[in-house]
């Protein structure tokens, strides 16, 4: 028999019934929303509902809605991910997964449902790469359900990943970089100089602190970034030291006059805090500057692509460029930027002409 001391409680706007059944405490989801009518009903029937749910689970796998199990899965895996990654996963779950599957129970999700879901994301203009990122979140939740034997298989195993178009890189020319820096003013001029001549990611620029800068040895220690509003380690989770070029040193010394004594971060908002996202900069600074210079709009991240392309075009060693960008190896750099390495009109292996060998054929 059930002895309901508490009877029921509400979590995530869902009603749960709970109590003691045969000497053991049990809690079950009713999968009903906490509306006024449902709460009135459960107050009178919590004991019988609990017994029915217990009896049902004895003969059948307990069924969960995607919503309740999804939050559970994200929570238990949070310790394995960076804080910014956790926030991103949660946002994707709420914005792109729940709207389509909120009322689904785990056992009701079929491969065809997932195919249709991916297709709908594509129709909304979401890129294949982005769809696959969201899919990773969804697939992980269903994989946990499979491991817990709540479903017989992961339906994503029968659904192909979205096709990805290789993103085109349109870096700025050196002349365009000069124009942008000339027309920029204040702290944003310094920001652009660092962006164009260090190859740092936008989030790494937001996370740069004065303690990371060594003017004596002329290097910058890149050890954190800002992603989705969260300050965390760098994207690759590895810190790196990069060279401080003379133009960057001048920009940093100029920036120090503005924020060096105000806070720990190099770039501060008008309210004295650090930047947590780039949208405000894009709207107030970046887009107007491009328009003023009569240049086509490109995302702010193209400053990083521009650094790589210009340095390679000017003959800098690819190993050094790769180090500055923080790539895992030279292969990564070549994959993205090989087309910017100029071919030299040079006679190859001239030293062989003086080789004293007598080759006879036939």
Domain-terminating residue out of 26, 41, 59: 59
Percent of the chain at pLDDT > 70 equals 89
What pLDDT is recorded for position 3? 43
SS3 of residue 28 by DSSP? strand
Q: Which residues pair with 15 in a beta bridge?
A: 10, 32
Q: Within a domain: residue 134?
A: yes
Q: Are 324 and 307 in contact (CB under 8 A)?
A: yes
In sequence order, the 6+-apart residues with CB closer than 8 A to the CB of 62 are 28, 150
Per-residue pLDDT tens for 97-132?
A: 999 998 888 988 999 999 999 999 999 989 898 999
Asked if 25 and 54 sit in the same domain, the reply is yes
Mean pLDDT over the full length of the chain: 87
Domain-terminating residue out of 124, 158, 192: 158
Q: Within a domain: residue 221?
A: yes
Per-residue pLDDT tens for 216-250?
A: 999 999 998 887 777 776 665 678 999 999 999 99
What pLDDT is recorded for position 52? 79
SS3 of residue 295 by DSSP? coil
SS3 of residue 30 by DSSP? strand
CA dist 332 and 338 (Å) reads 10
In sequence order, the 6+-apart residues with CB closer than 8 A to the CB of 329 are 322
What pLDDT is recorded for position 2? 42
What pLDDT is recorded for position 234? 62
Which domain CATH number covers 79? 1.10.150.130
What pLDDT is recorded for position 314? 92
pTM of the model: 0.61
């Amino acid at each position: 028999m059930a002895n309901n001391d508490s009877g029921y409680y509400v979590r995530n706007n869902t009603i749960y019934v709970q109590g003691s059944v045969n000497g053991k405490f049990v809690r079950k989801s009713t999968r009903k929303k906490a509306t006024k009518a449902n709460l009135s009903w459960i107050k009178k029937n919590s004991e019988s509902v609990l017994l029915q749910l217990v009896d049902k689970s004895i003969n059948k796998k307990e069924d969960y809605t995607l919503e309740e199990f999804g939050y559970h899965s994200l929570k238990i895996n949070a310790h394995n991910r960076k804080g910014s990654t956790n926030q991103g996963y949660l946002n994707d779950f709420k914005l792109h997964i729940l709207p389509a599957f909120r009322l689904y129970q785990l056992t009701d999700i079929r491969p065809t449902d997932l195919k249709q879901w991916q297709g709908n994301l594509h129709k909304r203009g979401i890129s294949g790469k982005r769809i696959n990122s969201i899919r990773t979140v969804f697939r992980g939740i269903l994989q946990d359900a499979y491991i817990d034997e709540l479903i017989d298989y992961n339906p994503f195993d029968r659904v192909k990943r979205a096709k990805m178009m290789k993103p085109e890189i349109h870096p700025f020319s050196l002349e365009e970089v000069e124009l942008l820096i000339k027309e920029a003013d204040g702290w944003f001029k310094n920001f652009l100089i660092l962006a164009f001549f260090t190859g740092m990611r936008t989030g790494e620029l937001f996370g740069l602190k004065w303690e990371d800068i060594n003017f004596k040895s002329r290097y910058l220690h890149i050890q954190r970034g800002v992603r989705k509003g969260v300050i965390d380690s760098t994207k690759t989770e590895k810190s790196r030291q990069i060279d401080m070029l003379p133009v960057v040193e001048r920009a940093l010394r100029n920036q120090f006059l503005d924020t060096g004594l105000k806070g720990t971060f190099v770039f501060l908002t008008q309210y004295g805090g650090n930047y947590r996202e780039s949208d405000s900069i894009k709207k107030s600074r970046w887009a107007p500057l491009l328009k003023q210079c009569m240049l086509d709009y490109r995302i702010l991240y193209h400053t990083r692509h521009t650094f790589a392309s210009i340095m390679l075009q000017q003959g800098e060693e690819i190993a050094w460029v790769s180090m500055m960008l923080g790539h895992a190896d030279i292969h990564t750099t070549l994959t993205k930027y090989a087309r910017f390495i100029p071919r030299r009109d040079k006679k190859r292996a001239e030293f062989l002409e003086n080789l004293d060998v007598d080759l006879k054929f036939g």
